Amino acid sequence: MLQGFERPPWWAVALMAVCTLFLAIGLPVAIDRGRVDPAERTAAGSPSEASPRATTSAPGTAAESGETNEERVRIAVLGDAYTAGSAMDSGEESRWPALLSEQFPWDVTSYAVGGTGFAAGREQAQSFADRVPEIVAARPEVVVVAGGHDDVNAPVAQVQDGVRRTLGELRAALPDARVLVVGVFWPGRKPAGVFAVNRALQTTSAEVGATFVDALNEGWLEGADPALVGPDGTYPTDAGHAALAQRIGSALVAAGVSTQL
């Protein structure tokens, strides 16, 4: 034994042994537990396409503002060549149903066929009443009926029956839909028969609770601008369709059709 060396107490020896054991085993474990894997750090700190929590919304969207977008108003149009178009215009996109879809939050679907009407039909093209089931199946919120030009030479009683059948079946099958009936389009000199068709439209509209707008007596395609009608003197040009879109759009708004999303 060395001279002057004094043995430490037993408890000091035990304490030193415990500290040594901790430094050898416990400290590396603690350090390892505190280490963050780089891949985990990236996943926790940046958006991930696979994680719902990481989705983002572009500035100004409904998700950011808390607003919800309602569906566009569904509108069905039943008509003749004044709606379906003719060689006097430049194509579908220039016609008034398409223009309304561009100008308003409305989805306008045309069920128009040239040469047809309330009494008139043609090969493979039924009368207006015969096309009502197709419209009803689409469940529109609004229906626009614009025709009668091709009915002026038909017997008045037949036209009246066709008008009642068309509007009556629309109202019965779509009781909550708004129905707008547009009077006969007829630029230029008017035959006597056109007024009879127009009166039938006006009278029956009142009977079924539809809104009637008198395009005939208001001269929608007449006036100082000859460019509204094509060289045939009958059907609308692109300018004419633009004028019809303005008129019919205003009538729909006046009838209470929403212009807000």
For residue 249, how many C-alpha atoms fall within 13 Å in the half-sphere facing its CB?
Answer: 21
Strand pairing report for 211-213 and 178-182: parallel
Residue 29, pLDDT score: 44
**pLDDT-derived band at 135, boundaries 50, 70, 90:** very high
- Which of 68-72, 141-145, 193-197, 236-240 has the lowest average pLDDT? 68-72
Element (H, E) at 84: helix 81-84
Of 7-21, 80-94, 218-232, which has the strongest mean pLDDT?
80-94
Region 101-129: what's the mean pLDDT?
Answer: 91
Residue 37 has pLDDT above 50, yes or no: no
Bridge partners for 142 per DSSP: 75, 178
Region 193-211: what's the mean pLDDT?
Answer: 97
**pLDDT-derived band at 223, boundaries 50, 70, 90:** confident
Position with higher pLDDT, 223 vs 210: 210
Region 164-191: what's the mean pLDDT?
Answer: 97
Region 73-81: what's the mean pLDDT?
Answer: 98
The average confidence (pLDDT) of the chain is 81
Position with higher pLDDT, 15 vs 146: 146
Bridge partners for 180 per DSSP: 144, 211
Position with higher pLDDT, 87 vs 50: 87
**pLDDT-derived band at 171, boundaries 50, 70, 90:** very high
Residue 225, pLDDT score: 82
Residue 222 has pLDDT above 60, yes or no: yes
Residue 178 has pLDDT above 90, yes or no: yes
Residue 117, pLDDT score: 97
Is the CA virtual torsion 151, 184, 201, 209 positive or negative?
Answer: positive
Order across the sheet with 73-79: list the strands: 106-110, 73-79, 142-146, 178-182, 211-213
Question: CB-based contacts of 112: which residues, under 8 Å, 6+ apart?
Answer: 77, 78, 79, 80, 81, 82, 83, 84, 97, 146, 147
* Domains identified in the chain and CATH numbers: 73-254 (3.40.50.1110)
Region 57-83: what's the mean pLDDT?
Answer: 65
Residue 2 has pLDDT above 70, yes or no: no
Residue 196 has pLDDT above 70, yes or no: yes
Residue 226, pLDDT score: 87
Residue 112, pLDDT score: 97
- Neighbour-count burial for 49-74, b at 16+ CB within 10 Å, e otherwise: eeeeeeeeeeeeeeeeeeeeeeeebb
